[in-house]
Copies of this chain bind each other. A is one copy, B any other.
Amino acid sequence: MTSSNLAAATPYVYDSSDAAFQRAVRVVPGGIYGHQGPSEGCYIPRSAFPLFSARAEGTRFWDVDGNEFIDYMCGYGPNVLGYGDAEVTAAARAQAELGDVVTIPSTTMVDFAELLVDTVASADWAFFAKNGGDVTTLAIMTARAATGRRGIVFIEGYYHGVAPWTQKLDYPGVLDQDVAGNIEVPWNDLDALRETFSAHRGQIAALIAQPYQHHNFADNVLPAPDYWAGVRRLCDEFGVVLIVDDVRAGFRLDLAGSDHYYGFQADLICFCKAIANGYNVSALCGRDGLREAVSSITYTGSYWMSAVPFAAGIATLTKLREIDGPALFRRLGTRLTEGLVDVAAANGFRLVASGEPALFYLRIADDDSLMLHQRWIAECVRRGVFLTSHHNHFINAALTDADIDRTFDIADQAFRALRESQ
C-alpha cells in the first residue's frame, strides 16, 4: 500500500474485534450502538477502527487484538484524569466498602454537592442524576415549571442528549409533539436571538446552549467576544432561563464552569462526563431563584443516589483543582494542535484545528467531501493514535509530552501514507 517502511511496519489488524463483532451482532441491536456504530458508510469506517477494548490505563487503551492506542476520545469525555487514576480508584473503593446504592443516601452526596457549590460559580445547589440527558431534561422541565411557559430556544445544530424533546422530527421514534415549541437560532447572532425572543414574548421558558459550538462535521466555533454577555442581558430582559449544557466541556475549560470561563453566569448548568473520571454521575447545578422550581419536579432514578460515584467525583474535582486541570489541558491541547498543523503543512496539507484546545476539533481543509480527512484519521488510528473523523476530541491529565511527540510521529506517517495513496 505504501513505500514507507515506518508506515508499512505498523498498521494494525482487527481480527479479534471482527470476531467479537460477529458475536455482538447476534445479541445487541446493530452489534454496537452509540458513536461507534460499525459500518463502512459510517464516519467511523469499520475497517479502520478497533471495535472492542481489552483494557485501559492512563491515556491509553488496548483493543482485543492487543493493539495499543493513545486515546484522544477519552471515552467520549469521562476520562479526564487518566484511565484508572489511582486516587479516584482509592476513593471509590473506600466508599464501596461502606455502601453504594442503599435505601437511604450517604452523606457523601452532601459532601459532593458542597464541593460543587464551592467550585462552580453559578451553583447554589446541585441535583444528581446519571446521564447528561437526565439533567438537560430536568433543566428544561425546571425552566417550564419556573416560568409557566413552554418554548425552548436552541442553537442550530444542537445536541443535548437523546430524550425525544431534544431529537429532531425526522428521527425514528420521534413525534411532532415531542419537539413542538422548539425554536432554533443561529450561533453568535444576538440580533436573531432578540428577534426570536420578541416574536415569542412571554412564551419562551429557556434558552439551552453549549458554552461554545462544538458540533460534529463542522469546525467548532468559539463565542464572539460580546456574545454571552448579550445573551445574558436578553435572557434577563425577556425573563428566559439561561441553561448551559456543559456536559462535554465542563471541568475542561474552567472548574468554575464554562459560563465563568466566558465571563457570564448561567441560571442552570448541566454537568456529566468529566465530573467523576468515568464513574456514573451527572449533576444539574443552579441558582437560588430556581431551587423551588427544581424541587417541584417529580424526578428520580433507580441508582441516582449511589455513593461510589459521589466519592469518585469528590476525588476527581479535588485533584483537578490541585493540578489546575484546565490550565494543563490548554497547554497540552495547544501544543498538540499547533504541532499537528505543522506536521500537516510539512506534508503539504492544510489542517484546521478549531474549538478550545482542551476539546480540539480537526479538519483537513480544501476537501469539502471530508473524505481526505477521514482517510488521514484512519491512517492515524491504524498506527496507534485514536482520533475520530468528525467529532471533537478530549485531552486528559495523564497525557504527556512524550505521548504528544509520538502522536506527531504517527501523524506524519499517516500523512505520508495519504500522499502515497493519492
- State whether B98 touches A54 (Cβ < 8 A): yes
**Cβ-defined contact, A302 with B83, below 8 A:** no
Interface residues of A in 28-59 (CB under 8 A from B): 28-30, 32-36, 49-57
Residue on B nearest A17 in the bound complex, by CB: B104
Smallest distance from the beta carbon of A229 to chain B beta carbons, Å?
Answer: 28
Among A65-94, those with CB < 8 Å from B are 71, 73-79, 83-84, 89, 93
The verdict on A225 contacting chain B, using a C-beta distance below 8 Å, is no
A98: which B residues are within 8 A, CB to CB?
54-56
User: A224 near B: Cβ within 8 Å?
Assistant: no
Q: Is A297 an interface residue (CB 8 A)?
A: yes
A34 to B129, CA, bound (A): 11
Contact B78 A302 (CB under 8 A): yes
Q: Which residues of B contact A36 (CB under 8 A)?
A: 104-105
Please determine whether B144 and A163 come into contact, CB atoms closer than 8 angstroms: no
Query: With contacts A54-B106, A99-B56, A103-B75 known, is A300 near B34, CB below 8 A?
Result: yes
A247-284 interface bits toward B, Cβ cutoff 8 Å, 1 = contact, 0 = none: 10000000000000000000000001100001110100
- Complex Cα–Cα for A296 and B33 (A): 10
The residues of B that contact A29 with a CB separation of less than 8 Å are 125, 127, 291, 294-295
Stretch at the interface among A132-140, A404-412, A414-422: A132-140
Q: Of A170-178, A193-201, A343-351, which binds chain B? A: A170-178
With A32-B105, A56-B99, A99-B61 known as contacts, the answer to whether A247 contacts B302 (CB < 8 A) is yes
A324 adjacent to chain B (CB < 8 Å): no
Render A294-325 as a binary contact track against B, CB cut-off 8 A, 1 for contact: 11111111111110010000000000000000
Whether the Cβ atoms of A278 and B101 lie closer than 8 Å is yes
Shortest CB–CB separation between residue A12 and chain B, in angstroms? 13
Count of identical protomers in the assembly: 2
Given A172-B293, A173-B141, A302-B132 in contact, is the A102-B75 Cβ separation under 8 Å? yes
Give the distance in Å from the alpha carbon of A56 to the alpha carbon of B102 in the complex. 7
Task: Give complex CA distance A248, B60 in Å.
Answer: 39
A304 touching B27, Cβ below 8 Å: no
Min C-beta distance of A290 to chain B, whole Å: 9
Query: Could you tell me which A residues sit within 8 Å of B by CB distance?
Result: 20, 23-24, 26-30, 32-36, 49-57, 61, 63-64, 71, 73-79, 83-84, 89, 93, 96-107, 109-110, 113-114, 116-117, 124-127, 130-134, 137, 140-142, 144-145, 150, 161-165, 167, 171-175, 177-178, 180-181, 247, 272-273, 278-280, 282, 291, 293-306, 309, 386
A123 nearest CB neighbor, chain B only: B27
By the criterion CB–CB under 8 Å, are A137 and B163 in contact?
Answer: yes
Chain B residues with CB under 8 A of A97: 55, 84
* One of B33, B75, B145, B298 near A127 (C-beta < 8 A): B33
Is the pair A297, B142 in contact by a Cβ cutoff of 8 Å? no
Q: Which residues of B contact A64 (CB under 8 A)?
A: 107
- Residues of the B chain whose Cβ atoms lie less than 8 Å from the Cβ of A50: 104
Known A127-B28, A141-B164, A302-B78; contact A73-B103, beta-carbon cutoff 8 A? yes
User: A303: which of B53, B131, B175 is its contact (CB, 8 Å)?
Assistant: B131
